[in-house]
């Protein structure tokens, strides 16, 4: 079994063209490496795949939408027939067992995501399919949805106020305190961003 | 449910019938660790991950080996040019071992970033020099190899079917059609198993044929044979490996096991 080449902007990847991109370059441009994995699923492994940064952007968007879709199902309580679950399962299995036909497998996943009946059973099904994809489908999208303990939330609020009052000493002190508790604060154009270390 | 995979050798999709009922033995050609792996390389390992996960999803357990090439892969992919490891070591003013460790680490970091499921066995070429030497000796004993003043070569004319995987037709190959470096080669497609090291070469090992270093292809036949046995089921890698590396691997494994046309052909 052999995997076909990756093209860059429709041509070959080469040192002289300066387009020998690394996974690190994907991270540096603000994308997740897993967005690249999503992109690989858009073509069969025996076909060439064309990489462009625009295509990566849309793969990142797809990944985000997929995770949102998973979340909506995980919060839903509607009933789903066993037969529907079975049908999705069979179609998915048929696709992956047909020489790893990931583009078809992905279309089944989108059908599940787009099912208007939001149900935990469909969320479980997506989680099961993610065993094959490995794209962390249960990961909540973006840093804004990070679950923060109350103590941390209070500190962040205090820091926001300190910054509004231009009390940089207090702001920095709270930042260091947050760091000690395992959270990194970044001040960006869109506001404060919190990351867990 | 039945599984179908494309077989590079027969150029058809075939039903997957593993040799053992529940276990699949796989060999994947891993990286030559002399520089950063690009996303193009990673496409191939995302495919490998996909294969692993699909087999596991179907309930199989895996015995999967992947090599790390840290010696013997020459700049040309053939028998000419410098060893890629040695060249990188000179350029970065490090030892080949340091280069190998540095880039292996980075390579496996990318695996984690892409959620690539690691093969059960990850094996380095330089840890298997002795076994490779024994493999070469066996090929000599079996009459599939010969010694010249510069190397031990595999004699492709001893096989009925060299070239099946990539579709090379030996009858239409004239001597000298490719650039010939070693005039002592018997056939243009003969390839080096074991190379006699020039005096200033850094990576070299004592062997019955003097100070030598292994050719690129011998490591994969040696390690797949050691970890997976003579006959395993799936061999995977990037498409660029078909014409030279995998063709030569098949030749070596056939020559060693004397199974000229049997089970090994099913293994691709």
- Say which residue, B180 or A174, is predicted with more confidence: A174
The predicted pLDDT at position B26 comes to: 87
The predicted pLDDT at position A131 comes to: 97
- Give the model confidence (pLDDT) of B115-155 as tens digits: 999 999 999 988 999 999 998 998 899 888 999 998 999 98
Q: Is A108 exposed, middle or buried (0-12, 13-18, 19+ CB in 10 A)?
A: buried
B236 with A34: Cβ contact below 8 A: no
Distance from CA of A30 to the nearest CA of B (A): 14
Domain A1-145, CATH number (from 2.40.50, 1.10.357, 3.20.20, 1.10.730): 1.10.730
The predicted pLDDT at position A126 comes to: 97
Distance from CA of B105 to the nearest CA of A (A): 14
B39 with A134: Cβ contact below 8 A: no
Per-residue confidence at B258, pLDDT binned at 50, 70, 90? low
- Give the model confidence (pLDDT) of B65-97 as tens digits: 999 988 877 776 677 777 888 888 889 998 888
Least confident of A114-118, B138-142, B173-177, B235-239: B173-177
Does the pLDDT of residue B261 top 50, yes or no?
A: no
Does the pLDDT of residue B6 top 60, yes or no?
A: yes
**ipTM value:** 0.84
B234 with A1: Cβ contact below 8 A: yes
Averaged confidence pLDDT in chain B: 82
A:B CB pairs within 8 Å? 118
Where along chain A do its domains lie? Answer: 1-145, 150-196
For residues B229 and A133, what is the distance between their CA atoms, to the nearest angstrom?
30
The predicted pLDDT at position B266 comes to: 39
Chain B contacts in chain A segment 138-197 (CB below 8 A): none
B47 with A136: Cβ contact below 8 A: no
B57 with A96: Cβ contact below 8 A: yes
Distance from CA of B266 to the nearest CA of A (A): 12
The predicted pLDDT at position A190 comes to: 66
The predicted pLDDT at position B176 comes to: 44
The predicted pLDDT at position B160 comes to: 72
Are the C-beta atoms of residues B219 and B125 closer than 8 Å to each other? yes
Chain A contacts in chain B segment 102-121 (CB below 8 A): 110, 113-117
Least confident of A17-31, A168-182, B13-27, B219-233: B219-233
Sign of the CA dihedral running A58, A64, A67, A68: negative
DSSP string, B198-262: PTT-SS-B--TTSSEEE-TTHHHHHHHHHHH-S--SEEEEEGGGIIIIIHHHHHHHHHHH--SSS
The predicted pLDDT at position B265 comes to: 37
Does the pLDDT of residue B185 top 90, yes or no?
A: no
A5 with B40: Cβ contact below 8 A: yes
A132 with B114: Cβ contact below 8 A: no
Residues 6 or more apart from A135 whose CB is under 8 A from it?
A34, A37, A38, A63, A66, B115
From chain B, the residues in CB contact with A134 under 8 A are 49, 53, 114-117
- Give the model confidence (pLDDT) of A109-118 as tens digits: 999 999 999 9
Please count the other Cβ atoms lying within 10 Å of the Cβ belonging to residue B177: 10
Nearest by CB to residue B46, choosing from A5, A13, A37, is A37
From chain A, the residues in CB contact with B246 under 8 A are 2
Listed as ranges, residues in chain A with pLDDT below 70 are: 141-147, 189-190
Does the pLDDT of residue B217 top 70, yes or no?
A: yes
Distance from CA of A99 to the nearest CA of B (A): 4
- Give the model confidence (pLDDT) of B43-65 as tens digits: 999 999 999 999 999 999 999 99
Per-residue confidence at B233, pLDDT binned at 50, 70, 90? confident
B1 with A93: Cβ contact below 8 A: yes
Q: Which chain A residue is nearest to residue B54, measuring alpha carbons?
A: A132
């Amino acid at each position: 079994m052999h995997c076909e080449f990756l093209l860059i902007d429709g041509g070959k990847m080469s040192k002289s063209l300066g387009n020998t991109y690394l996974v690190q370059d994907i991270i540096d441009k603000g994308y997740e490496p897993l967005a690249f994995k999503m992109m690989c699923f858009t073509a069969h492994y025996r076909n060439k795949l064309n990489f462009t940064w625009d295509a990566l952007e849309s793969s990142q968007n797809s990944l985000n939408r997929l995770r949102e879709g998973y979340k909506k199902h995980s919060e839903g309580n509607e009933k789903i027939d066993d037969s529907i679950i079975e049908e999705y399962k069979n179609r998915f299995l048929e696709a992956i067992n047909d020489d790893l036909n990931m583009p078809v497998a992905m279309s089944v996943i989108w059908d599940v995501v787009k099912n208007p009946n939001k149900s935990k059973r469909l969320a479980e099904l997506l989680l099961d399919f993610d065993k094959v994809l490995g794209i962390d489908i249960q990961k909540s999208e973006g840093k804004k949805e990070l679950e923060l303990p109350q103590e941390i939330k209070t500190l962040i609020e205090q820091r926001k106020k300190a910054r509004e009052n231009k009390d940089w000493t207090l702001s920095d002190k709270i930042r260091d305190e947050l760091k000690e508790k395992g959270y990194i604060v970044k001040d960006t154009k869109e506001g404060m961003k919190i990351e867990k270390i | 449910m039945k599984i179908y995979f494309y077989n590079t050798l027969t150029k058809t999709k075939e039903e997957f019938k593993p040799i053992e009922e529940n276990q699949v033995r796989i060999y994947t050609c891993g990286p030559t660790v002399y520089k950063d792996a690009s996303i193009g390389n990673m496409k191939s390992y995302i495919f490998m991950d996909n294969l692993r996960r699909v087999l596991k999803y179907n309930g199989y357990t895996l015995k999967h080996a992947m090599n790390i090439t840290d010696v013997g892969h020459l700049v040309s992919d053939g028998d000419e040019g410098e060893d890629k490891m040695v060249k990188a070591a000179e350029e970065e003013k490090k030892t080949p071992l340091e280069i190998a460790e540095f880039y292996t680490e980075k390579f496996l970091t990318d695996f984690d970033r892409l959620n690539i499921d690691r093969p059960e066995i990850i094996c380095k070429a330089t840890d298997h020099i002795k076994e490779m030497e024994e493999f070469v000796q066996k090929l000599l004993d079996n009459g599939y190899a010969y010694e010249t003043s510069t190397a031990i070569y595999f004699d492709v004319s001893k096989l009925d079917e060299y070239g099946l995987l990539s579709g090379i037709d030996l009858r239409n190959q004239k001597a000298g059609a490719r650039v010939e470096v070693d005039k002592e080669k018997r056939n243009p497609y003969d390839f080096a198993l074991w190379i006699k090291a020039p005096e200033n070469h850094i990576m070299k090992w004592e062997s019955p044929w003097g100070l030598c270093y292994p050719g690129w292809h011998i490591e994969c036949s040696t390690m797949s044979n050691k970890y997976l046995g003579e006959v395993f089921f799936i061999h995977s890698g990037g498409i660029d490996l078909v014409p030279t590396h995998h063709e030569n691997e098949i030749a070596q494994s056939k020559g060693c096991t004397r199974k000229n046309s049997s089970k090994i052909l099913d293994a691709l």
